Chain A
């Protein structure tokens, strides 16, 4: 093997690494490591500048191994690998060292220890990099169909988009009909169109489309496989069925928080949520002249710090609709801030004021109070701007609550091996660089399952997810990573232990020149390494995670 010429690129990641790890000191240290012929730092190695620097470095210093020390391979390994490929280097001659998510970000109070740890980790990464060998990938055919989980406005939009591109789509919805949360909504801002018209139109097109197979009252029970070849088990009406798909889109939405215990909800019959108000508006039965709405109930508070994005507009929309139904009604919206961003929303808000909706700003420190016996009768609120306490008559109290993650996000996270964020929403691979994608290849997310979105945002995301999901389907093949196992037939004793432990049936005993040895079916091998760790003869090599490579990392543990 040629002499390794290692290039190391240490990333500042702006302040994310740079504010805690002494990057220049690390680069100087790295330059002193054996076989490192070039080391530099980049502000953002993943930027165009950073990628050019890698390519330039490979050419200029004749690098045959590249190490990038930055965030996590789970976001940018593919990016840096293709940079290497573009410069003529086999992509498996690249090693990623995680000095952000597993270093600078978790040792923020200890910059010296963080810096020492970064040096250790890079030294270990270089030790492995020296021993890396080039690997070739094989092409595997993609099942030309997609699974969309969730039949609401977002799921249906994604399914239609894919179907119109010519792909088969399996749309799974756990309720008895398509439509999701919008089934319970009366009208949608800002055009005040009826939700049922929108949903009805979409559901009609979905059901009529010959490329979309709809499964109602159905659940996803199990998912196995990898991008291009997912095996999905569905449960419908007590019966299970299996389908094979190439890509998966998650559009399971979110649910509205029920603020039991707050402001008399659950106790007083006339205290309802915005979603419950939608039902009454649909039926046109709103008996009350004085409607008070309290916004940010259970949102932007210590227990749930996020803003749910759509609720301000929802409250203003419903307030406007109430005034439309009954111009003499008095409607107050008690709010903390008003998120009516952009042109249309701000306009809508202004018009609602012109129609007589009244806005009162309140503070978290002095929350409104509900007064009444058996029901909410009056609402006491401290008007921030007038610096006066007001008492509002109240026939109906509407609590504007945030969208919260569905409980079965935990199940989805487990089934699909996708991450959840700190609130329990599904977490995408990267906010800016890989929106609508999960870190798991071939699985995408759109709509409120990721974070609260309104209808138009949800549909845009659905189109984005469909565009992404169509990619592998159109290519027709995927090239799974070449991190597969390899049997050295000279050393193999034919004991068959690897055959027993392989979860995918990728190993089998065959006869070669009269000797019984083990053989790997590469397309089946997922590279877990169980066989490699089991083989008593040391006959199995786990490509890219070879014994030598891991041992080298361990040898480099202590300087």
Chain B
């Protein structure tokens, strides 16, 4: 893949929380369509982006993830009506808190990816991986 080789040996670890109905399906569609993206992401399936407790994001950063992506249904399309709105509010607040801890808010990203947006999913992963590469290793993570 162009431009996505580890810079100075830094190959970020990224956690992705994907909701079962939209973004997980969108990620699957990227696979079915054989869209290629950076292999740094590890996806954890949840039923709804609203399930994502800020504590999970903090845990991810604590165990060494360099970036956390949360992907849910587009506003208005949440399979559970409003879970994604809750996710949006929580994550907006969390990013502000992270800045105060000395962690760049850009390490946490919220995206809306629908079940038919395989291409968008691949784009988002590539873009976010690049962003995290440029941010450098997570200052608070355990790195080996």
Interface residues of A in 484-540 (CB under 8 A from B): 501, 503-504, 526-530, 532-534
Whether B86 contacts A534 by the Cβ 8 Å rule is: yes
Residues of chain B with a CB closer than 8 A to A102's CB: 27-28, 30-31, 43
Min Cβ gap B80→A in Å is 4
**Known contacts A419-B116, A504-B80, A528-B83: does B25 contact A439 (CB below 8 Å)?**
yes
Task: Say if the beta carbon of A361 comes within 8 Å of chain B.
Answer: no
The smallest beta-carbon distance between B98 and chain A, in angstroms, is 16
Query: A530 is contacted by which of B13, B33, B44, B83 (Cβ under 8 Å)?
Result: B83
Give residues of chain B (105-124) contacting chain A, Cβ–Cβ below 8 Å. Answer: 114-116, 118, 122
Neighbour of A417 across the interface among B1, B22, B43, B82, CB < 8 A:
B22
Q: Provide the bound-state CA to CA distance between A120 and B35, in Å.
A: 21
A529-B51 contact given A73-B45, A121-B42, A554-B44, CB 8 Å threshold:
yes
A110 to B40, CA, bound (A): 11
User: Cβ of B47 and Cβ of A417 under 8 Å apart?
Assistant: no
* Cβ of B116 to closest chain A Cβ, rounded Å: 4
Taking the nearest CB of chain A, how far is it from the CB of B5, in angstroms? 11
Q: Indicate if B7 sits at the interface (CB-CB under 8 A).
A: no
A87 interface hit (Cβ, 8 Å): no
Residues of chain A within 8 A of B20, CB atoms compared = 74
User: Which of A98, A107, A526, A534 interacts with B43 by CB under 8 Å?
Assistant: A98
Q: Does A286 contact B (CB under 8 A)?
A: no
| Residues of B contacting A418 in the complex (Cβ-Cβ under 8 angstroms) | 115
- Cβ B42 vs Cβ A109 within 8 A: no
A180-188, A270-278, A310-318, A544-552: which one contacts chain B? A544-552
A232 at the interface (CB under 8 A from B): no
Q: Looking across the interface, which residue of chain A has its beta carbon closest to that of B116?
A: A420
Distance from B100 Cβ to chain A, minimum over Cβ atoms (Å): 20
Q: Is the Cβ of B46 less than 8 Å from the Cβ of A72? A: no
B53 x A532 contact (CB < 8 A) = yes
Closest to A532 in B: B51
Contact pattern, B 18-32, Cβ under 8 Å of A = 1, otherwise 0: 001110110111111
| Distance A532 CA – B54 CA, assembled complex (angstroms) | 11
Tell me the smallest distance from the CB of A447 to a CB of chain B, in Å. Answer: 19
Q: Nearest chain B CB to A240's CB is how many angstroms away?
A: 18
Task: Indicate which residue in B35, B42, B114 contacts A106 across the interface (CB closer than 8 Å).
Answer: B35
CB <8 Å contact, B86 and A533: yes
On whether the beta carbons of A554 and B60 are closer than 8 Å, the reply is: yes
Interface string of B77-100 (1 = CB under 8 A from A): 111111100100010000000000
Interface centre among B44, B52, B114 (most CB of A within 10 A): B44
Quick check: A528 and B115 within 8 Å, CB to CB? no
Inter-chain contact B63/A483, CB cutoff 8 Å? no
Measured between alpha carbons, how far is A427 from B28 in the docked complex, in Å?
A: 12
Cβ-defined contact, B79 with A417, below 8 A: yes
B36 interfacial by beta-carbon distance below 8 Å: yes
Which residues of B are found within 8 Å of A554, using beta-carbon distances? Answer: 15, 44, 56, 59-60, 63, 65
Q: Shortest CB–CB separation between residue A409 and chain B, in angstroms?
A: 9
Chain A CB within 8 A of B8 CB:
no
Interface residue? A3 (CB, 8 A)? no
> Contact check: which of A417, A439, A534, A557 meets B64 at CB < 8 Å?
A557
* In the complex, A101 has a CB within 8 A of chain B: yes
Residues 408 to 430 of chain A near chain B (Cβ within 8 Å): 410, 413-414, 417-422, 427
Q: Are A422 and B33 in contact (CB under 8 A)?
A: yes
Task: Judge whether B51 and A533 touch: CB under 8 Å.
Answer: yes
By size class, the interface of chain A is 35 or more
Q: Which residues of A contact B34 (CB under 8 A)?
A: 105-106, 108
What residues on A are CB-neighbors of B25 within 8 Å? Answer: 74, 419, 439
A439 and chain B: residue at smallest CB distance: B25
Closest to A558 in B: B64
CB-CB under 8 A for A530 and B15, given A106-B30, A106-B35, A419-B115: no
| Residue A453 at the chain B interface, CB threshold 8 Å | no
Query: Given A101-B32, A105-B32, A534-B86, are A558 and B47 also a contact pair (CB < 8 Å)?
Result: no
B74 closest partner in A (C-beta):
A414
Distance from B3 Cβ to chain A, minimum over Cβ atoms (Å)? 14
* B142 CB contacts on chain A under 8 angstroms: 558
Chain A 416-451 per-residue mask, 1 if CB under 8 angstroms from chain B, else 0: 011111100001000000000001000000000000
A76 at the interface (CB under 8 A from B): no
Cα A529 to Cα B24 with chains together (Å): 16
Across-interface contacts of B60 in A (CB, < 8 A) = 554, 557
B144 lies within 8 A of A558 (CB): yes
Q: Is the CB of A114 closer than 8 A to any CB of chain B?
A: yes
- Per the 8 Å Cβ criterion, residues 112-151 of A in contact with B are 113-114, 116-117, 120-121, 124
Give chain A residues whose Cβ lies under 8 Å from the Cβ of B1: 109-110
Instruction: Report if A526-B32 is in contact (Cβ < 8 Å); known contacts: A417-B22, A501-B86, A533-B90.
Output: no
Contact B39 A114 (CB under 8 A): yes
Residues of A within 8 A of B48 (CB): 528-530
Docked-complex contact B44 and A419, CB < 8 angstroms:
no
Contact between A529 and B46 (Cβ–Cβ < 8 Å)? yes
Closest to B32 in A: A101
Task: Find out whether the CB atom of A551 lies under 8 angstroms from the CB atom of B59.
Answer: yes
A-B contact pairs, 9 of them (CB 8 A): A98-B43, A108-B34, A413-B116, A419-B115, A504-B80, A529-B46, A533-B90, A554-B44, A557-B15
Instruction: Please name the 3 residue pairs, one residue from A and one from B, whose CB atoms are nearest each other, closest first.
Output: A529-B51, A101-B31, A528-B80
Residues of A within 8 A of B (CB): 72-74, 98, 100-103, 105-110, 113-114, 116-117, 120-121, 124, 224, 410, 413-414, 417-422, 427, 439, 483, 501, 503-504, 526-530, 532-534, 542, 545, 547, 550-551, 553-555, 557-558
New A-B contacts (13) at CB < 8 Å, excluding given A545-B51, A557-B65 = A72-B31, A74-B24, A105-B32, A109-B1, A117-B39, A224-B81, A413-B114, A417-B115, A419-B116, A526-B80, A530-B80, A533-B50, A558-B144
